[in-house]
Amino acid sequence: MIDLLAAARRAAEAAYVPYSHFRVGAAVLAGGAVFSGCNVENASYGLTICAERNAIFAAVAAGHPRITAIALSCVDAAADAPPGSLMPCGACRQVMAEFGPPDLPVTIDRVGTMPLDALLPNAFRLT
Ligand code: THU
Active site residue 41: no
What was the pLDDT predicted at 2?
81
Q: pTM for the complete prediction? A: 0.97
Q: Tell whether the model's pLDDT for residue 1 goes beyond 80.
A: no
Residue 107 CA, chain-centre distance (Å), reads 9
Tens of pLDDT, residues 51-98: 999 999 999 999 999 999 999 999 999 999 899 999 999 999 999 999
Is 4-119 a domain of CATH 3.40.50.1000? no
**Ligand 1 site-directed mutation target among 38, 87, 89, 120, most atoms within 8 Å of CB:** 89
